[in-house]
């Protein structure tokens, strides 16, 4: 299920489902979307502070729920990541969300919401940079170009003109499947819950930030032992930003950790994608059908919004 595209004059809602955003940077990010001719409504919990959370769990859940149910709101954008999205999913009414499909955009901690919404409703959502944490500074032109995919059905095509791509495992020919996933930490934290990530017959996308290699090793090991790497038809490896050894100076590299678990799983993978907490970053629609070509080293993802 794809949401309607945005048009100039539409109103979008800003929510903080996790941690409170930097309000000064948020204003700069909002300015970017106003330049597209959009009106902006800021959710009631965005300015709340409850320790490391933007208000109580019920505050944040009700804010997101109301944005989905408000007919005046045509798209919902996360202001910031941090932590807390997983605490609100059990308070959401996914039947009402399914009845009111619209654009939901964010990444990082919002990964838990992406997978919960997709698995409960089938709605395509968008993995992309957020207004406070990512769009509060000067925006790279490549990053900005992928923000525009919510205005017009846009096929995302990625090849080695953007970055060098490498194949791990026995990847040959083309694989077509829905692309799901996001932040590795959040995907791993879903295991054993009602919202456990379902990777069966999907292209699993993973990325992360500020995690040391041994921590990433632990998470990939858990996903593999849970069968999640094996159940996917392919793995799309995004950027692991600032994931360098700190606590343990003698360390395996990120490449060694990824190769170890991917080869054990026997699932072909392609690495090197500028997707995640990096700059520039390529935004993608999660739940949309992707065609991953191992011979040509390309991926093509269908538009995430409806056409005319």
Q: Is 133 a catalytic residue?
A: no
Domain(s) labelled CATH 3.40.50.10740 in the chain stretch across: 11-139
Domain(s) labelled CATH 3.50.30.60 in the chain stretch across: 156-301
DSSP state letter for 115: H
Q: Is the pLDDT of residue 188 over 90?
A: yes
Q: Is the pLDDT of residue 255 over 80?
A: yes
Respond yes or no on whether the N-terminal peptide bond of residue 8 is cis (omega within 30° of 0): no
22 with 86: CB under 8 angstroms? no
User: Domain 11-139 in CATH: superfamily?
Assistant: Murein tetrapeptidase LD-carboxypeptidase, N-terminal domain (3.40.50.10740)
In sequence order, which ranges of the chain are alpha helices (DSSP H)?
A: 23-34, 57-69, 94-99, 111-121, 141-147, 184-189, 213-225, 228-231, 254-265
Q: Is 196 a catalytic residue?
A: no
Give me the catalytic one of 108, 132, 133, 189: 108
Residue 308 pLDDT: 67
Q: Which two tokens stand for residue 282?
A: 């390529």
**What is the reported pTM?**
0.96
Residue 14 pLDDT: 97
Residue 249 pLDDT: 79
40-44, 131-135, 208-212: the lowest-pLDDT one? 131-135
The per-residue pLDDT for range 264-282, each reduced to its tens digit, is 999 999 999 999 999 999 9
Distance between CA atoms of 230 and 181, rounded to whole angstroms?
14
User: Domain 156-301 in CATH: superfamily?
Assistant: LD-carboxypeptidase A C-terminal domain-like (3.50.30.60)
Give me the catalytic one of 114, 132, 190, 207: 207
Q: How many CB atoms lie within 10 A of CB 283?
A: 20
Q: Is 207 a catalytic residue?
A: yes
Give me the catalytic one of 114, 127, 261, 277: 277
The per-residue pLDDT for range 18-53, each reduced to its tens digit, is 999 999 999 999 999 999 999 999 999 999 999 999
């Amino acid at each position: 299920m794809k949401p309607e595209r945005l048009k100039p004059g539409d109103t979008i809602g800003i929510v903080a489902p996790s941690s409170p955003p930097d309000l000064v940077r948020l204003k700069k990010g909002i300015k970017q979307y106003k330049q597209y001719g959009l009106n902006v409504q800021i959710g009631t919990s965005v300015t709340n502070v409850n320790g490391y959370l933007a208000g109580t769990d019920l505050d944040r859940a009700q804010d997101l729920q109301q944005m989905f149910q408000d007919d005046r709101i045509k798209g919902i954008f996360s202001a910031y990541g941090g932590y807390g999205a997983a605490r609100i999913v059990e308070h959401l009414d996914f039947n009402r969300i399914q009845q009111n499909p619209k654009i939901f955009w964010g990444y990082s901690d919002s990964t838990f919401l992406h997978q919960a919404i997709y698995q409960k409703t089938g709605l395509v959502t968008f993995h992309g940079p957020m207004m406070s944490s990512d769009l509060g500074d000067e925006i790279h032109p490549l990053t900005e170009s992928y923000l525009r995919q919510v205005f017009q059905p846009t096929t995302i095509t990625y090849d080695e003109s953007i970055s060098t791509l490498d194949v791990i495992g026995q990847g040959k020919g083309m694989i077509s499947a829905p692309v799901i996933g996001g932040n590795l930490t959040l995907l791993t934290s879903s295991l054993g819950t009602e919202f456990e990530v379902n990777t069966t017959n999907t292209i699993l996308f993973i990325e992360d930030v500020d995690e040391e290699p041994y921590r990433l090793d632990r998470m990939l090991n858990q996903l593999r032992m849970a069968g999640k790497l094996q159940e996917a038809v392919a793995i799309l490896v995004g950027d692991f930003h600032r994931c360098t050894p700190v606590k343990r100076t003698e360390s395996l590299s990120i490449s060694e950790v990824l190769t170890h678990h991917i080869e054990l799983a026997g699932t072909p993978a392609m690495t090197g994608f500028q997707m995640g907490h990096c700059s520039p970053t390529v935004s993608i629609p999660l739940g949309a059908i992707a065609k991953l070509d191992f011979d040509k080293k390309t991926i093509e993802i269908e538009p995430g919004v409806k056409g005319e």
